[in-house]
Amino acid sequence: MKIEHPTPINWQFAKRAEQLQSSVIREILKITMRPDIISFAGGLPSPATFPVEHMKAAFDKVLSQQGKIALQYGPSDGYAPLREWIADSLSIPGSVITPDQVLMVSGSQQALDLLGKVLIEENSKVLVETPSYLGALQAFSVYQPQFVSVPTDDYGLLPEAVDGIADGARLLYALPNFHNPTGRTMSVERRMALVETCARHGLPLIEDDPYGALSYRAEPLPKMLTMNPSGVIYMGSFSKVLTPGIRLGYVVGPTPLIRKLEQAKQAADLHTSQLTQMVVYEAIKDGFLAEHIPSIRTLYANQCQVMLDALAEFAPEGVKWNKPEGGMFIWVTLPKHIDCMQLLEEAIAQKVAFVPGAPFYANEAEKNTLRLSFVTVPPEKIREGVATLAKLIAAKI
Q: Which residues bind ligand PMP (CB under 6 A)?
A: 43, 107-109, 133, 135, 175, 180, 208, 210, 237, 239, 244, 249
CB of 89 to ligand PMP, least distance (A): 16
CB of 11 to ligand PMP, least distance (A): 28
Half-sphere exposure of 142 (CA within 13 A, CB side): 20
In 3D space, the residue among 97, 73, 58 whose CA is nearest the CA of residue 242 turns out to be: 58
359: preceding bond cis by omega (within 30 degrees): no
CB of 62 to ligand PMP, least distance (A): 21
Nearer to ligand PMP, 210 or 356 (CB): 210
CB of 211 to ligand PMP, least distance (A): 7
Nearer to ligand PMP, 251 or 319 (CB): 251
CB of 112 to ligand PMP, least distance (A): 7
CB of 227 to ligand PMP, least distance (A): 20
In 3D space, the residue among 207, 386, 249 whose CA is nearest the CA of residue 309 turns out to be: 386
Nearer to ligand PMP, 145 or 210 (CB): 210
State how far the Cα of 325 lies from the Cα of 131, in Å rounded to an integer.
18
Nearer to ligand PMP, 310 or 370 (CB): 370
State how far the Cα of 247 lies from the Cα of 264, in Å rounded to an integer.
18
State how far the Cα of 361 lies from the Cα of 359, in Å rounded to an integer.
6
Nearer to ligand PMP, 128 or 340 (CB): 128
CB of 372 to ligand PMP, least distance (A): 15
CB of 53 to ligand PMP, least distance (A): 22
Nearer to ligand PMP, 231 or 327 (CB): 327
Q: Return the sign of the alpha-carbon dihedral for residues 225, 226, 227, 228.
A: positive
Nearer to ligand PMP, 238 or 321 (CB): 238
State how far the Cα of 184 lies from the Cα of 397, in Å rounded to an integer.
26
126: CB partners within 8 A, 6+ apart:
120, 140, 145, 146, 147, 148, 169, 170, 171, 172, 173
Nearer to ligand PMP, 32 or 237 (CB): 237
Nearer to ligand PMP, 235 or 258 (CB): 235
CB-based closest residue to ligand PMP: 107
State how far the Cα of 91 lies from the Cα of 93, in Å rounded to an integer.
7
CB of 325 to ligand PMP, least distance (A): 16
Rg (CA), the chain: 22
- Structural contact between residues 275 and 60, judged by C-beta atoms closer than 8 angstroms: no
159: preceding bond cis by omega (within 30 degrees): no
Instruction: Burial-class residue 189 by CB neighbours within 10 Å (0-12, 13-18, 19+).
Output: exposed
Nearer to ligand PMP, 49 or 109 (CB): 109
CB of 239 to ligand PMP, least distance (A): 3
